[in-house]
Chains A and B, each alone.
Chain A
Amino acid sequence: MAQSKKRRFYMRTAILAVLVVAIVFTVYSNLNKEKNAVLQVGDKAPDFVLVDMDGTERRLSDYKGQGVFLNFWGTWCKPCAKEMPAMDNQYGEYANKGVQTLAINIGESDLKVNSFSNRYGLTFPIAIDRNKSVMESYNIDPLPTTFLINPEGKIEKIIKGEMTEEDIANFMDQIKPS
């Protein structure tokens, strides 16, 4: 009698546990899917290869051991225009401390990207994601979105929206290799 009761208790606990775990898992992963379909802080940053405006091939995995300040932008996006000169200043500060800046334009024309970069005198590498595959793999929405990638190639932080120069400096400092 006592034994069968004990067995029943364990049985019930096990069944309930399985069901509850299934529900918690479903709800949890659905909520995360809403926020950011695949990429989350701590994930490995998906590798990509793009040719920048100077014709140099930029492959994310080549930056291993350095921090990468990865910014997605558009010429028509006003917050982007505001933060990019500030990014350029900090790029100058941090490039020799092992934090690289890479700005990825989403599918605009060479002419437009060049005229933008000339107007603001930008010096960091800019590449155009022509078939939007990098945008898709990073799930970019809205512009600007910035990914901080640490020297191990993991995502340290995802920033959606505009940053001040102070923010940018702090963020770059955060992914400085030690």
Chain B
Amino acid sequence: MDKIVCACGNVNPAGTELCESCGRPLTEETKEKKIVDMRYEGSARRSQTYNKTIIDKVWNFFSSVKVGMWIIVAILIAAAIGTILPQVFYVPATNETDIAAYYQRVYGGFGTLYYKLGLSDLYSSWWFQVLVGMLGISLVIASLDRVIPLYKSLKKQKTKRHLSFLKRQRIFGMGKSDVTEESLLKTEEKLKELKYNIKREGNAILAERGRFSRWGPYVNHLGLIIFLFGVMLRALPGFYVDETMWLREGETLYVPETDGYFLESKEFIYETYSKEESKEVYGDAIDRVGTIAKNYQTDVSLYKGPEDSVAGHTEDLKFEKEASIQVNKPIKFDNFSVFQMDFRLDELATMTFQLQDKETQQSFGEFTIDLADPQPFYELDEGYKVEVMDYYADFTGFEEGVPQSQSPLPNNPAFLIKMYSPEFPKGETSFVMIKETVEPLGVNQHKIAFQSVETRDVSGLTVRKDLTLPLLALGGLIFMIGVAQGSYWNHRRIWIQLSEDGQTVVAAHTNKNWLSVKRDLDKVTEVAHLPKYLDQQDIDSLEEKVDKEEGV
């Protein structure tokens, strides 16, 4: 491909439509146009010019705005499909088979299909991420391919433009009028007043304002690219953590992903509004729904294990601080935030029993079993003792005579107990469940009588760390600056030239808001007696209208 040498002597890159310097149309196609396409100043977008190697072809593919649009449409459609059914991280199941079963059970055949196609985990699927990545590539390449030539041609533009360029502007006027040097000076003055930058070259004036609005879209793209880069960083270890933990009152647990931090729950607090305190605000609502939550709160202590201690280490925890975690008021430490997210009330914590004579119901002592840590023996009155032989936290029944527990949670505690008494020094065996007792080895004289329970609450906490937030905020800010720059400002140019045969030429261009540039031009025309201009696009549309009407 060769460079194009314009009649004015400027050497333009191949593919240029309007001479970068004087503005003469360079291609046949452009010459035939009544109004030139000013979108990229008629510059040679590089993507359109070279198409030889594979690299060039790939480059051109991503440089195309059309391709970029289709990528966005594809992402939109995919993202929309991902909202039809809940995504996998909202499903109350943790392993693959449970998740598949959940979709099958709740959403039927469609759910199964949705799961099988991988749509249930769409946003982390490789193809969705590749789509977003392609959008990133498109943003970078399309911007590079446009902003550089645009910058060059705006910088290179001559004050004096060729008539063939001016004629093809949407706003154009030409006529013999007695415009003198003095009126040119007046024009300049008026345009300056209107905040235009003036360039003068002989009898030619170029007035320009708001050029920086042309960079709006590229600033906007830069913001998006920074944003995407921030999202990309989340994949790196250490930048982003989003974990959950269940913490029971009285329990001390390791905080996932942290560097040796532990949380102890002192108390979970759930408060509701009472009718007396807030009759005006919540009175009606309380009548309707019963209770309205006022506060969810977990009072915690934060501990840190010794430096360079390994997992499993439970001693020498150093107290760091106390805090009350409330909704949207997390405890913060070391870039981590722990949020109040969920709760379960009244999980069984302890159970208190009496050892009694079955007939007389005489008590031989009381004992309390901590369900999190049952003891093997409980000593009672002189000569009486209870042995807990086994404990089933979530008892579901017997399988071949063996008691079964389906989870470690105390949802339905059951105990295999031996009762020792002076009458039975070898013990009587009893299987104690809630509201029921089985005597597997014959009739007993004694029994375990249930007295009371104590419960504790469980806090559902979310552990969060996101070091990419500042970058995302920066990207968002730059994005918005770009949007504002491109929307609230516009690039207006007015050319005024005195030709040697006494003709005055006026032309104007703006990238948006044509009314304003016309108004500016009207004001200048008034003071400087410039020839009348026409909006050539309006004429076209008028003519078109006439044609159409005639056609009917």
* Interface positions of A (Cβ within 8 A of B): 5, 8-9, 12-13, 15-16, 19-20, 22-23, 25-27, 29-31, 33-34, 38, 46-50, 59-61, 74-76, 106-112, 114-115, 127, 129-134, 136-137, 141-142
Partner of B408, one of A13, A60, A108: A108
Say yes or no: A76 contacts B407, CB within 8 Å. Answer: yes
- Per-residue contact bits, chain B 146-188, to A (CB 8 Å; 1 contact, 0 not): 0000000000000000000000000000000000000000000
Cα A165 to Cα B374 in complex, Å, equals 33
8 Å CB interface, B17-61 against A: 46, 50, 53, 55-56, 58-59
Which of A15, A48, A50, A109 has the most chain B CB atoms closer than 10 A to its own CB? Answer: A109
9 of the cross-chain contacts (CB-CB < 8 Å) are A12-B56, A31-B126, A76-B394, A108-B408, A112-B393, A115-B389, A133-B254, A133-B313, A137-B311
Say yes or no: B129 contacts A141, CB within 8 Å. Answer: no
* Interface positions of B (Cβ within 8 A of A): 46, 50, 53, 55-56, 58-59, 94-95, 121, 124, 126, 129-130, 133-134, 136-137, 140-141, 144, 232, 235-237, 252-254, 256-257, 262, 310-314, 372-376, 388-391, 393-394, 405-408
**Residue numbers in A under 8 Å from B253 (CB-CB):** 131-132
| 4 closest Cβ pairs, A-B complex | A23-B133, A133-B254, A48-B312, A48-B311
Say yes or no: B126 contacts A74, CB within 8 Å. Answer: no
Residue of B nearest to A32 (CB): B235
Cα A129 to Cα B253 in complex, Å, equals 10
Cα A129 to Cα B237 in complex, Å, equals 25
Which of A8, A19, A114 has the most chain B CB atoms closer than 10 A to its own CB? Answer: A19
**Residue numbers in A under 8 Å from B55 (CB-CB):** 9, 12-13, 16
Say whether chain B's binding surface is mostly helix, strand, loop, or mixed: mixed
In the assembled complex, the CB of B338 is this many whole angstroms from the nearest CB of chain A, namely: 14
**Residue numbers in B under 8 Å from A13 (CB-CB):** 55
Say whether chain A's binding surface is mostly helix, strand, loop, or mixed: helix
Partner of B136, one of A23, A133, A136: A23
Interface Cβ pair total, 8 Å cutoff:
127
Residue of B nearest to A57 (CB): B312
| 12 extra A-B contacts, CB within 8 A, seeds A76-B405, A131-B262, A133-B262 | A15-B140, A20-B137, A22-B133, A23-B130, A26-B129, A27-B130, A30-B126, A33-B235, A47-B311, A75-B405, A110-B373, A127-B312
Say yes or no: B314 contacts A131, CB within 8 Å. Answer: yes
Residue of A nearest to B262 (CB): A131
Cα A27 to Cα B123 in complex, Å, equals 11
Cα A136 to Cα B206 in complex, Å, equals 69
Residue of A nearest to B373 (CB): A109
Known: A15-B140, A19-B136, A141-B94. A30 touches B235 (CB 8 A): yes
Say yes or no: A29 contacts B94, CB within 8 Å. Answer: no
Partner of A5, one of B50, B95, B310: B50
Cα A154 to Cα B544 in complex, Å, equals 78
Say yes or no: A109 contacts B372, CB within 8 Å. Answer: yes
Say yes or no: A130 contacts B137, CB within 8 Å. Answer: no
Say yes or no: B389 contacts A46, CB within 8 Å. Answer: no
Which of B136, B254, B405 has the most chain A CB atoms closer than 10 A to its own CB? Answer: B254
In the assembled complex, the CB of B246 is this many whole angstroms from the nearest CB of chain A, namely: 10
Say yes or no: A9 contacts B53, CB within 8 Å. Answer: yes
In the assembled complex, the CB of A102 is this many whole angstroms from the nearest CB of chain B, namely: 11
**Residue numbers in B under 8 Å from A49 (CB-CB):** 310-313
Residue of A nearest to B393 (CB): A76
**Residue numbers in B under 8 Å from A47 (CB-CB):** 310-311
Cα A54 to Cα B144 in complex, Å, equals 68
**Residue numbers in B under 8 Å from A15 (CB-CB):** 140-141, 144
Cα A59 to Cα B313 in complex, Å, equals 10
Partner of B390, one of A48, A106, A112, A127: A112
Residue of B nearest to A13 (CB): B55
**Residue numbers in A under 8 Å from B390 (CB-CB):** 111-112, 115
Cα A129 to Cα B257 in complex, Å, equals 16
In the assembled complex, the CB of B225 is this many whole angstroms from the nearest CB of chain A, namely: 10
**Residue numbers in B under 8 Å from A9 (CB-CB):** 53, 55-56
Say yes or no: B235 contacts A29, CB within 8 Å. Answer: yes
Cα A26 to Cα B135 in complex, Å, equals 14
In the assembled complex, the CB of A83 is this many whole angstroms from the nearest CB of chain B, namely: 17
In the assembled complex, the CB of A51 is this many whole angstroms from the nearest CB of chain B, namely: 9
Say yes or no: B311 contacts A136, CB within 8 Å. Answer: yes
Residue of A nearest to B240 (CB): A33
Known: A26-B235, A30-B235. A19 touches B59 (CB 8 A): no
In the assembled complex, the CB of B296 is this many whole angstroms from the nearest CB of chain A, namely: 23
**Residue numbers in A under 8 Å from B389 (CB-CB):** 115
Which of A5, A110, A112 has the most chain B CB atoms closer than 10 A to its own CB? Answer: A112
**Residue numbers in B under 8 Å from A112 (CB-CB):** 374, 390-391, 393
Partner of A23, one of B137, B141, B313, B408: B137
Residue of A nearest to B236 (CB): A29
Cα A114 to Cα B256 in complex, Å, equals 28
Cα A51 to Cα B448 in complex, Å, equals 34
Say yes or no: A27 contacts B129, CB within 8 Å. Answer: yes
Known: A34-B124, A132-B253. A111 touches B58 (CB 8 A): no
Cα A33 to Cα B254 in complex, Å, equals 21
Say yes or no: A136 contacts B254, CB within 8 Å. Answer: yes
Cα A31 to Cα B394 in complex, Å, equals 36
Cα A161 to Cα B374 in complex, Å, equals 29
**Residue numbers in A under 8 Å from B232 (CB-CB):** 22, 26
Say yes or no: A111 contacts B376, CB within 8 Å. Answer: yes
Cα A109 to Cα B124 in complex, Å, equals 38
Cα A114 to Cα B373 in complex, Å, equals 12
